[in-house]
């Protein structure tokens, strides 16, 4: 079954449905989670250029979705547009400009470095990335100061739509696994790696559901 899933091609609707069924079949807890949350509605933004996708992933690092949305909104509003700024527009800014939108100084430096790399051609193109294994992407992009494996994994999920990605170091996913199973501890690195094997070849769909465990906890509490 695993060999039938193209690990480089963006998730299709059929993949989402198959992933949902596989996850629901794992055990009672996952079945309850899928029933509560409903159909997976993940929609990767595959039209994004690499610099844009990486900046999106970077923005949400250590932030809530609402905070990240607000910061990106202010960045776009600065250029009086709804679409993401071009490389040239980003290079017209400095770190203080970016701080005024809500980015940290470190994130501002990383954004400008990514824009410079996109401008001089040292950032891999969409075509190059489309058939690049995740571990190779992590090796390339984490050379940029401020980008870690988590950022690249989020980019692989939300921009590239890779089907088999799970950020096992993601604090929210770890804590949600603990909640899902009523564990007395947050899963360790080894435990998360072991658990993630059950989700192959749809780790991405599993990640999407695990990020939504709090919805199930709310439902459980309402029934108490």
Q: What is the pLDDT of residues 4-43, one digit of tens each?
A: 677 899 999 999 999 999 999 999 999 999 999 999 999 9
Domain encompassing residue 79: 50-158
Task: Say whether 137 sits in a helix, a strand or coil.
Answer: helix
User: Domain check: are 55 and 153 in the same one?
Assistant: yes
pLDDT tens by residue, 152-206: 999 999 999 999 999 999 999 999 999 999 999 999 999 999 999 999 999 999 9
Question: According to the model, what pLDDT value does residue 81 have?
Answer: 87
**Which residue among 117, 140, 158 closes a domain?**
158
CATH number for the domain including 120?
Answer: 1.10.340.30
Threshold 0.85, pTM exceeds: yes
Nearest to 127 by CA among 194, 72, 191, 50: 50
Structure tokens at 134: 């995740």
CB 75 within 8 A of CB 107: no
- Which position has the token pair 């929210």? 172
Query: What is residue 9's DSSP assignment?
Result: S
User: Domain check: are 66 and 127 in the same one?
Assistant: yes
Stretch 43-63: mean pLDDT: 96
User: Domain check: are 88 and 152 in the same one?
Assistant: yes
User: Domain check: are 59 and 93 in the same one?
Assistant: yes
Averaged pLDDT of the chain: 95
Domain count within the chain:
2
CB 85 within 8 A of CB 76: yes
User: Domain check: are 112 and 170 in the same one?
Assistant: no
Query: What is residue 165's DSSP assignment?
Result: -
User: Domain check: are 9 and 96 in the same one?
Assistant: no
CB 55 within 8 A of CB 111: yes
CATH number for the domain including 27?
Answer: 1.10.1670.40
CB 14 within 8 A of CB 176: no
């Amino acid at each position: 079954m695993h060999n039938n899933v193209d690990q480089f091609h963006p998730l299709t609707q059929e993949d989402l449905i198959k992933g949902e069924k596989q996850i629901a079949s794992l055990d009672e807890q996952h079945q309850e989670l899928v029933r509560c949350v409903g159909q997976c509605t993940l929609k990767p933004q595959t039209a994004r250029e690499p610099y844009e996708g990486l900046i999106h992933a970077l923005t949400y690092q250590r932030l809530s979705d609402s905070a990240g949305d607000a910061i990106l909104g202010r960045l776009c509003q600065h250029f009086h547009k709804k679409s993401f700024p071009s490389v040239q527009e980003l290079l017209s800014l400095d770190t203080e400009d970016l701080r005024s939108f809500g980015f940290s100084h470190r994130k501002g430096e990383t954004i400008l470095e990514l824009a410079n790399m996109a401008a001089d051609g040292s950032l891999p193109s969409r075509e190059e990335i489309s058939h690049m294994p995740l571990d190779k992407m992590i090796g390339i992009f984490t050379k940029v100061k401020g980008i870690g494996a988590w950022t690249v994994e989020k980019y692989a999920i939300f921009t590239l739509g890779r089907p088999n990605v799970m950020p096992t170091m993601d604090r929210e996913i770890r804590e949600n696994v603990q909640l899902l199973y009523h564990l007395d501890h947050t899963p360790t690195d080894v435990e998360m790696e072991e658990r993630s094997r059950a989700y192959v070849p749809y780790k991405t769909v599993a990640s999407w559901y695990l990020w939504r465990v709090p919805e199930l906890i709310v439902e459980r509490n309402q029934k108490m």
